[in-house]
Amino acid sequence: MPRTREAKDALFDAFSSVAKAMASGRRAEIIDVLAQGERSVEDIAAEIDQSVANTSHHLRLLARSGLLRSRRSGTHVFYRLASPRVAELWTALRDVAETHVAEVGVLAADLVGDRSDVEALHPDELARRIEAGRVVVLDVRPHVEFEAGHIAGARSVPIDELPDAVAGLPRSREIVAYCRGPYCVKADDAVRLLHEHGLRARRLDTGYPEWRHAGLPVETPDDHPG
């Protein structure tokens, strides 16, 4: 075999190793979780409903492929995406599947249910409304994800805390809720709860990772050193 053929085979095998690493629904879900920010192995296991042992196996495989980085703090190991490009890869993979795999639309509809009662807002429009001071933005993800990064000016109100927080929300402005992405139903649930209490509310039609990737204003721990 010519040397150039061997080199080309090796190069394309290396390219495909990334796809191989993500060739598991659970590993794809891990990437989706870590697109929100760094998490411990135990937290990730709880999010994807797997044992810590199984989750650790998936995480190590993703790390060996170069997609994740890890650090140890005491007895806990934390994982994060190796770079923002990994989140972009996940978004691109998801978009291709939505466009070309018919089954995805059916499965997505089964997951999110009927959204006809929940109006969505495009990120660009939300950015304009935030700048004009016309909305209250609620981040209904867990606090740990909010702390890792969030839409600039958003309030952290995890969905399970929202019933107790409703009374303190202003009625003079519209409320926009967001969560992890287009297939996260926490924002839908938040909007329905707010409607039940007579508040004007919509959901962001994407999530925090897509907002950040679009270059819209975010706040991260680096913005508040010390």
CATH code of the domain containing 142: 3.40.250.10
Q: How far apart, in Å, are the Cα atoms of 54 and each of 6, 19, 30, 192?
A: 35, 20, 12, 35
User: Who's near 65: CB < 8 A, 6+ residues apart?
Assistant: 17, 18, 20, 21
Return d(Cα 188, Cα 14) in angstroms, integer.
Answer: 40
Q: Please check the confidence at residue 222 and state whether its pLDDT lies above 80.
A: no
Return d(Cα 194, Cα 7) in angstroms, integer.
Answer: 59
Regarding whether 208 and 151 lie in a shared domain, the answer is yes
The partner residues of 139 in beta bridges, in order of sequence, read 156, 178
Q: What is the mean pLDDT of residues 100-129?
A: 93
Q: How far apart, in Å, are the Cα atoms of 93 and each of 5, 31, 71?
A: 28, 11, 27
pLDDT of residue 3: 75
Select from 31, 24, 21, 14 the least CA-distant residue to 62: 21
Structural domain of 22: 3-88
Tokens of 89: 């890869």
Q: Please check the confidence at residue 207 and state whether its pLDDT lies above 80.
A: yes
CATH code of the domain containing 35: 1.10.10.10
Q: What is the mean pLDDT of residues 112-131?
A: 95
Residue indicated by tokens 């980085």: 69
The set of catalytic residues is 179
pLDDT of residue 225: 45
- Residue 100 falls inside a structural domain: no
Return d(Cα 55, Cα 45) in angstroms, integer.
Answer: 6
pLDDT of residue 199: 96
Q: What is the mean pLDDT of residues 210-224?
A: 88
- Please give the angle made by the CA atoms of 220, 224 and 226, to the nearest 5 degrees: 125
Q: Please check the confidence at residue 223 and state whether its pLDDT lies above 70.
A: no
- The string of DSSP codes covering 98-135 is HHH-HHHHHHHHHHH---TTS-EE-HHHHHHHHHTT-E
Return d(Cα 150, Cα 157) in angstroms, integer.
Answer: 12
Q: Name the pairing type of β-strands 120-121 and 201-207.
A: parallel
Select from 126, 163, 160 the least CA-distant residue to 141: 160
pLDDT of residue 226: 44
Q: What's the number of domains the chain is made of?
A: 2
Report pLDDT digits (tens) over 12-49. 999 999 999 999 999 999 999 999 999 999 999 999 99
Average pLDDT, the chain: 94
Report pLDDT digits (tens) over 42-101. 999 999 999 999 999 999 999 999 999 999 999 999 999 999 999 999 999 999 999 999
Q: Phi and psi for 164 in degrees, rounded to 5?
A: -80, -15
Regarding whether 126 and 179 lie in a shared domain, the answer is yes
Regarding whether 131 and 63 lie in a shared domain, the answer is no
Regarding whether 75 and 122 lie in a shared domain, the answer is no
Q: Please check the confidence at residue 224 and state whether its pLDDT lies above 60.
A: no
Tokens of 79: 């994982």
- Residue 149 falls inside a structural domain: yes
Q: Please check the confidence at residue 2 and state whether its pLDDT lies above 80.
A: no
Indicate the pTM of the whole model. Answer: 0.86
